[in-house]
Structure 1
Amino acid sequence: MASLADVTPPIALGALDGRYRKAVAPLVDHLSEAALNRTRVHVEIEWLIHLTQHQVVPGVRQLTDAEVAQLRAIVGDFGAEDIAELAEIERETVHDVKAVEYYLQRRVDRIAPEDAAQLKQLIHFCCTSEDINNLSHALMIQGAVREVWLPKARSVVDQLAEMARALRDVPLLAHTHGQPATPTTMGKEIAVMAHRLGRQLRRIEGQEFLGKLNGATGTYGAHLAAVPDADWTAISEAFVEGLGLTWNPLTTQIESHDWQAELYADTARFNRILHNVCTDFWTYISMGYYAQVRGQGTVGSSTMPHKVNPIRFENAEANLEVSCALLDVLGSTLVQSRLQRDLTDSSMQRNVGTAYGHSMLALDNVARGLAGLDAVPERMAADLDGNWEVLGEPVQSAMRALGAQGVAGMDNPYERLKELTRGRRIGQAELVEFVRGLGLPSEVEERLAAMTPQTYVGQAPALVDRLR
């Protein structure tokens, strides 16, 4: 049997790079191995520019505007040939960051041939690999979250908010513990989902992305040995913040990754709430509260023609679970380091793209699943009309209020309604007869007698208006 591993072009091992490539492709620009190398090139170039512009090392000239532009164009034009060249160099160095240094030395030879020997000394000057890597990962993750994941997540939350407003006034029989309960509106229940998700997004939007540049053990030892008169903490802070990151002033060899753990915890919490959204919509579909009609040209079942399976929500559930598992292990592992350094974080961070990829895929499926739904208010109304016993709550509550005011005959309201409603179905006639026989003040009697499961929704419609 021929080996599929020998097929050209190579077949993807994982679903994200194979079956689901289209849904996660935007993350490749930020969280792939190629993106990591491109960002390393960016950080190394900016460090060279920073050192020369501020003339940190005595005797080294400033780069011209043209030279700066040419250096930065290396990042802008970074493509397949650069990826291949870096891979070739790394095969010799067996060190990915050193390969970037040698790659840039070749470029400096072309851009500033007369001063190349001098300028090449400032590429990776006083840096440990982690100085470059931590800044690169922070920039990559910042870009992936802010430019790709957050907009997609926000669009799904907006989609839910739009549905909530459209179904603001549609009565819905609630189910607590799987049992018929106080009515609400479909819009209000979706608004709860959107509110929960939106709150997590606001936390993620406020996330700090930290970085450091302070040498092999975080002491600026090499920096001071090389240029003792420079204010290296100020230089480091200005450089890191100039990249658009938050400066971490106190680290070992590695940036401690605590901010990553915080981000992944918030992202996982968003995922888990979205998983709850999926299971709720799956249940509403199974109850007939939604019809899956739009965009459903697909086969629902290979043998049962009538079926339209809620596959988008089921697919999303699975991918959210994978994403959460990865985010959890990332968060728990990355905050640990043996003494000043070990390499577990290096291997672990290569899974960030996969974690966000599965979340992105889930978001795509949720968006498509929601877009294919049509609410069926008639089905919701039928369930409400079949459960008049839920009005036992407002009747006994009104009796309690009257009893507290000294109105006679309001004793044991809960027990009396329990006897009427528990374990059996009642209809409008039975409830009205019961209300008429309580001896209520006429205004209260008429109000309760006129109440229906469809109208007993409290402030549910108005609560939808509180969505941010």
Structure 2
Amino acid sequence: MSSNYDSYSTPLSSRYASEEMSKIFSLRNRFSTWRKLWYNLAIAEKEVGLTVISDEAIAQMRQHLDITDEEIAAASKEEAIVRHDVMAHVHVFGNTCPEAAGIIHLGATSCFVTDNADLIFLRDAYDVIIPKLVNVINRLSKFALEYKDLPVLGWTHFQPAQLTTVGKRATLWIQELLWDLRNMERARNDIGLRGVKGTTGTQASFLSLFHGDHDKVEALDQRVVELLGFDHVYPVTGQTYSRKIDIDVLSPLASFGASAHKFATDIRLLANLKEIEEPFEKSQIGSSAMAYKRNPMRCERVCSLARHMGGLLNDAIQTASVQWFERTLDDSAIRRISLPSAFLTADILLSTMLNITSGLVVYPKVIERRVNSELPFMATENIIMAMVEKGGSRQDCHEEIRVLSHQASAVVKQEGGDNDLIDRVKKTEYFKPIWADLESLLDPKTFVGRAPEQTEKFVKVDVAKAIKPYEKYITNEAVSLSV
């Protein structure tokens, strides 16, 4: 006897994704949405003037919009016979609604339900992930404000560079996420419906139904769109809506994947430096062999899935490029995989990032120690300028500090010692005029420029403006992760 453990199921839905996202792309929602499309098509056709559709037919369809398990099983058996998924469901829906059996799918082609349903799912999926992205931005913004004044060693080429602050670094992550939010909003709001276009997009079948009345066909197209809650219909299509729309829909997700990967990679590197870590649960095991380890498994998951999501965009690009004339069917199988996968993956990434950003752990003492180890070298320019103010020569001072810097560097690199440059300055008579000023010249906060001010303005102006429309979705609710 077999069980659910004997067949493969995608980890995207079985292991990681949220229930709300999984439901959007479920078979039950797909087939129930087909029924809603047939129901609204019948309403619109009747309103526009098709008298063959009775009130009883519409009422019966309305009572059975949510498909049952038994009906799904019956449609599956029917499809095995007729080898056509849409017609199998037409037959089953007709059996359930005998008053409507003769008018279900009237004038329509399969893409009326399959394509319009896909567009509904894509918009609904964006409505799930956009609020999650807003919450990631909001939580990172609170983090940025909390640590806007904490000096930290900056890195360029992963080599020590001028100081920044922990909060300012977080704004770099946030800014990319704001762009992702903008891109997702544009893509979501650009989604329209295919509407009622017929087998090759000419609406010939509907023109026949309404005896050559073009105005009624246009009214029908618009009314179906209104009934389904959309504000626009694509003016022209082939049998399908242009697969270029899938590129527009998936591009923001792939771009977000790059932002997520960069954020998670930075946290992984900072974890190695012991400056910042992702949350680590009390009973969590980092390694089966090395008990002391605190592996950044959440950020590693983000990097792993972000790479997968980025690759799915190529599916959409390649598919759009090979659609011949009004359509071919080589788009069907790959879209069944790539479109749900992209949104399930984005959903998982955002849930994981919500968990991470809710509990980032900062180690100020480690950060301070690393800053202090590099600060003497960074202070050389300040020392030179201070000596000039005391009447010294810039060139002479530059040579003095250059020699001492190389000596201190040799202690660090060759002997493994601490940076003793300041001690050398204190022992060198040439620098006696500024000995009393050295402490102020070495204050880390004087090396961060406008980082605190930039952070505060960015969060309170740019971030606040971007997320204000989503205030009702912002929550401090904890996000737990599956294994």
2:347 aligns with one of 357, 360, 372? 360
Deviations 1:7-64 (A, max 9, x none): 223545144267615x343222111333222211111111111111232x2x335637
Deviates more, 1:273-282 or 1:231-240: 231-240
Residue matched to 2:367: 380
Residue matched to 1:16: 11
Deviations 1:391-447 (A, max 9, x none): 346667x79xx99xxx9955699998766647825644556899996999xxxx969
| Counterparts of 1:456 and 1:433, CA distance in 2 | 24
1:311 aligns with one of 297, 301, 313? 297
1:92 aligns with one of 81, 93, 102? 81
> What's the TM-score once normalised by structure 2's chain length?
0.80
- Mapped contact 2:82–2:88 kept (Cα < 8 A): yes
Residue matched to 2:218: 233
Deviates more, 1:150-159 or 1:123-132: 150-159
- Mapped contact 2:200–2:239 kept (Cα < 8 A): yes
Relative to structure 1, the CA distance from residue 437 to residue 46 in structure 2 (aligned partners, 3 Å threshold; closer, same or farther) is: same
Shift of residue 301 of structure 1? 1.3
Shift of residue 460 of structure 1? 1.0
| Counterparts of 1:269 and 1:450, CA distance in 2 | 43
- Mapped contact 2:239–2:327 kept (Cα < 8 A): yes
2:2 aligns with one of 2, 7, 27? 7
- Mapped contact 2:243–2:320 kept (Cα < 8 A): yes
Relative to structure 1, the CA distance from residue 51 to residue 19 in structure 2 (aligned partners, 3 Å threshold; closer, same or farther) is: closer
Relative to structure 1, the CA distance from residue 224 to residue 304 in structure 2 (aligned partners, 3 Å threshold; closer, same or farther) is: same
Residue matched to 1:221: 204
The count of aligned residue pairs is: 438
Q: Quick one: which amino acid aligns to residue 44 of structure 1?
A: W
Deviations 1:360-405 (A, max 9, x none): 2233333334444321011000001111212346667x79xx99xx
Q: Greater relative contact order (Cα 8 A, min sep 6): structure 1 or 2? A: 2
Residue matched to 1:72: 62
| Counterparts of 2:293 and 2:394, CA distance in 1 | 52
- Does residue 300 of structure 2 align to residue 300 of structure 1? no
- Percentage identity across paired residues of the two chains: 22
SS where residue 350 of structure 1 aligns? helix
| Counterparts of 1:234 and 1:451, CA distance in 2 | 74
Q: Quick one: which amino acid aligns to residue 208 of structure 2?
A: A
| Counterparts of 2:102 and 2:396, CA distance in 1 | 89
| Counterparts of 1:318 and 1:44, CA distance in 2 | 40
Alignment of 1:161-240 (within 5 A): 161-207=141-187, 208-212=190-194, 213-227=196-210, 228-231=212-215, 232-240=217-225
SS where residue 294 of structure 2 aligns? coil
Residue matched to 1:290: 276
Residue matched to 1:112: none
Q: Quick one: which amino acid aligns to residue 333 of structure 1?
A: T
1:462 aligns with one of 453, 463, 468? 453
Residue matched to 2:415: none
| Counterparts of 2:401 and 2:59, CA distance in 1 | 80
1:131 aligns with one of 112, 129, 132? 112
Unaligned runs of 5+ in 1: 1-5, 110-115
Unaligned runs of 5+ in 2: 410-418, 464-483
Residue matched to 2:308: 322
Alignment of 1:15-34 (within 5 A): 15-16=10-11, 20=15, 23-34=17-28
Relative to structure 1, the CA distance from residue 209 to residue 431 in structure 2 (aligned partners, 3 Å threshold; closer, same or farther) is: farther
Structure (1/2) with the larger helix percentage: 2
| Counterparts of 1:435 and 1:385, CA distance in 2 | 24
Alignment of 1:336-415 (within 5 A): 336-351=322-337, 352-388=339-375, 389-392=377-380
Residue matched to 2:481: none
Deviations 1:164-212 (A, max 9, x none): 1221211110111111111011111112101211221122023211322
2:229 aligns with one of 221, 244, 247? 244
> What's the TM-score once normalised by structure 1's chain length?
0.83
Q: Quick one: which amino acid aligns to residue 233 of structure 1?
A: E
Relative to structure 1, the CA distance from residue 380 to residue 431 in structure 2 (aligned partners, 3 Å threshold; closer, same or farther) is: farther
Alignment of 1:446-457 (within 5 A): 450-457=441-448
Deviations 1:305-337 (A, max 9, x none): 211211111122111211221233234323541
SS where residue 449 of structure 2 aligns? coil
| Counterparts of 1:315 and 1:36, CA distance in 2 | 29
RMSD: 3.3
Q: Quick one: which amino acid aligns to residue 107 of structure 2?
A: C
Deviations 1:64-107 (A, max 9, x none): 7xx656533423x3342332232232223211111222223223
SS where residue 175 of structure 1 aligns? strand
Residue matched to 1:42: 36
Deviates more, 1:220-229 or 1:414-423: 414-423
| Counterparts of 2:352 and 2:124, CA distance in 1 | 22
Residue matched to 2:252: 266
- Mapped contact 1:282–1:310 kept (Cα < 8 A): yes
Shift of residue 224 of structure 1? 1.9
Deviations 1:329-359 (A, max 9, x none): 2343235411211112211221122222233
- Mapped contact 1:289–1:376 kept (Cα < 8 A): yes
1:279 aligns with one of 265, 272, 285? 265
- Mapped contact 1:278–1:316 kept (Cα < 8 A): yes
Q: Quick one: which amino acid aligns to residue 111 of structure 2?
A: E
Relative to structure 1, the CA distance from residue 336 to residue 413 in structure 2 (aligned partners, 3 Å threshold; closer, same or farther) is: farther
SS where residue 225 of structure 1 aligns? helix
Relative to structure 1, the CA distance from residue 168 to residue 209 in structure 2 (aligned partners, 3 Å threshold; closer, same or farther) is: same
